[in-house]
Every structure is written in C-alpha cells, then in structure tokens.
C-alpha cells in the first residue's frame, strides 16, 4: 500500500509539474500572439479597446509632453547660438562705429543678459526630462507589458471557451486556471493603468508650474532691458 501511495503521489507530482510547464508555454504563446497583433496593427476586440480609451488619451498627452520638451530644448539651443552670433556682430559694429558705441553696448549686453535665464530654462527642462518624464516612461513601459499579458490572457480564455464542454471535468479545470490567469493579469494591469494616469496628470501640472516659474525670470529681464534697446533702435533707424 505504501508503495502504491508513493507511486500515485509521484505520478501526480509529475503531472502537476508537466501541467505547470505547459501553462508557462501557453502564457508565453498567447502573450507573443498579442504582441504580434499589436505590432501588425490587426483589429482587436472593440470592447477591450474601448475600455482603455481613457488610458490611451493619457498616453497621447504623455507623448505630447515628451515631444514638445525635446522640441523646446532644440529651440533654446538655436536661440542661444543666435544670441552669441548677434553679440559678436554687435561687438564688431561697436568697434567700427564709436559714435553709436553706447547703444550698441546696450544691445550687446541685452543679448548676453538673455543667456542666463535661457540657460536656466534649458537646465530645468533637461532635469525635468531626465527625471519626471523618464520615471513616467518606465511606468508606461511596465503598463504596456502588463496590458499585453492581460490581453493575451483574454485571447487564451476566448480560445478555451470556444472548446469548453461543461460536462468535462478536465476542460472545466483548464478554464478555471485560465480564468484565474485573466484575473491576475487584470489586477496587475489595472494598478499600473491607474499609476500611469496619475503620473501623466502630475507630469502635465509639473510642466506648467516649471515653465511658469522659469519663464518669469526671462520675461522680467526682457521687460527691464527691452526699452533701453528699443530706444537705441529708434534713434538709429
């Protein structure tokens, strides 16, 4: 009896182990299939897609913030190069036209004075990009992986449901396992989905505060020194 019991236990152990290995392969298969569907742009279940409408809208906002921050950094770089170039030209003009040296001096000084707030703006946006945007990007990546796993599990459950025979114990057991997998992946996806939505909202608010704060220095400097330059331009025109 002991030998028989040991043999049955060993058989169940091997069966469970084999079942676990098969489940892992099936999970990978359906996840890969979902990845291919996404990459190839094949049509997905409209109800599943509609349930992520709010998330997809947040992702569009995130990608817009990503893109516009990069564009702003490029514009600032170009602006700084032009300021340096104009300052050099004004310096040469000052040397050539001593009678207008005072006005040219103010113009040159004004151009160079703009560099400090521009440099600060560049540094602040660069820091924002490396920290806030990168952190959100990592969360978005984790969410996308989780979404792929969840939708892959849904495909798996749909496939199992089509062949389901309620009277067959083995098939019902398989269906319950897949159903449990769907619940697990959905729970993980919902959490990351919520994290992404919250982080994108915070990212948008942080960017507004950042630009509002940093640009104030630039605007104040422009308002203070701008009239001096304008007066010189009016005199020399």
pLDDT of 53-101, one tens digit each? Answer: 999 999 999 999 999 999 989 988 888 787 777 666 655 555 555 444 4
Backbone angles phi, psi at 40, to 5 degrees: -80, -10
More confident call, 121 vs 112 = 121
Is residue 106 a contact partner of residue 227, using CB atoms and an 8 Å limit?
no
Rg (CA), the chain: 31
Segment 126-139 mean pLDDT = 93
pLDDT beyond 70 at 51: yes
Tell me if 53 is assigned to some domain. yes
Residue 194: which domain range? Answer: 46-236
For residue 64, tell me if it sits in a domain. Answer: yes
- Residue 60 has what pLDDT? 96
- 229 occurs within a structural domain: yes
Q: Is residue 143 part of a domain?
A: yes
The reported pTM is 0.72
pLDDT (0 to 100) of residue 18: 47
For the ranges 49-63, 127-141, 179-193, 223-237, which has the lowest average pLDDT? Answer: 223-237
What pLDDT does 7 receive? 45
Mean pLDDT over all residues of the chain?
A: 76
What total of structural domains would you count in the chain?
A: 1
* Six token digits for residue 47: 């109800």
| Distance in angstroms (rounded) separating the CA atoms of residues 177 and 38 | 25
Residue 10 counted as domain residue: no
In a domain, 121, yes or no: yes
For residues 106-110, give the mean pLDDT: 55
What confidence score (pLDDT) does residue 233 get? 37
Question: Could you tell me the pLDDT band of residue 187, with boundaries at 50, 70 and 90?
Answer: very high
Q: What percent of the chain has pLDDT over 90?
A: 32
Is a pLDDT exceeding 50 seen at residue 3?
no
Q: Is residue 12 part of a domain?
A: no
Q: Kindly compute the dihedral angle of the four CA atoms of residues 78, 83, 89, 94, in this order, to the nearest 10 degrees.
A: 180
DSSP 208: H
Q: Is the pLDDT confidence value at 165 over 80?
A: no
Whether residue 237 is predicted with pLDDT greater than 70 in this model: the reply is: no
Residue 90 lies in a domain: yes
pLDDT above 90 (res 215): no
Between 24 and 225, name the one with better pLDDT: 24
User: In this structure, what CATH number is given to the domain that contains residue 198?
Assistant: 1.20.1270.60
Q: What band does 224 get if pLDDT is binned at 50, 70 and 90?
A: very low
Residue 20 has pLDDT above 90, yes or no: no
* Mean per-residue pLDDT, 14-25: 62
């Amino acid at each position: 009896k002991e030998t028989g019991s040991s043999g049955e236990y060993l058989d169940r152990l091997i069966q469970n182990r084999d079942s676990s290995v098969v489940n892992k392969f099936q999970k990978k298969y359906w996840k890969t299939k979902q990845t291919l569907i996404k990459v190839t742009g094949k049509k997905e279940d409209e109800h599943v897609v509609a349930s992520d409408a709010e998330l997809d809208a947040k992702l569009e906002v995130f990608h817009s913030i990503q893109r516009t921050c990069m564009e702003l950094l490029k514009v600032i770089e170009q602006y700084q190069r032009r300021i340096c170039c104009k300052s050099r030209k004004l310096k040469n003009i000052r040397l050539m036209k001593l009678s207008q040296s005072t006005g040219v001096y103010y113009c040159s000084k004004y151009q160079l004075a703009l560099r400090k707030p521009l440099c600060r703006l560049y540094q602040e946006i660069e820091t924002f990009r490396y920290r806030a945007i990168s952190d959100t990007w990592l969360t978005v990546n984790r969410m996308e992986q989780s979404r792929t796993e969840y939708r892959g599990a849904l495909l798996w459950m749909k496939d199992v449901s089509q062949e389901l025979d309620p009277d067959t114990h083995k098939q019902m057991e398989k269906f319950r396992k897949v159903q449990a997998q769907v619940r697990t992946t959905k729970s993980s996806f919902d959490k990351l989905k919520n994290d992404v939505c919250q982080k994108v909202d915070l990212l948008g608010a942080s960017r507004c505060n950042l630009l509002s704060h940093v640009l104030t220095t630039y605007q104040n400097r422009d308002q203070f020194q701008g009239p001096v330059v304008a007066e010189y331009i009016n005199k020399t025109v």
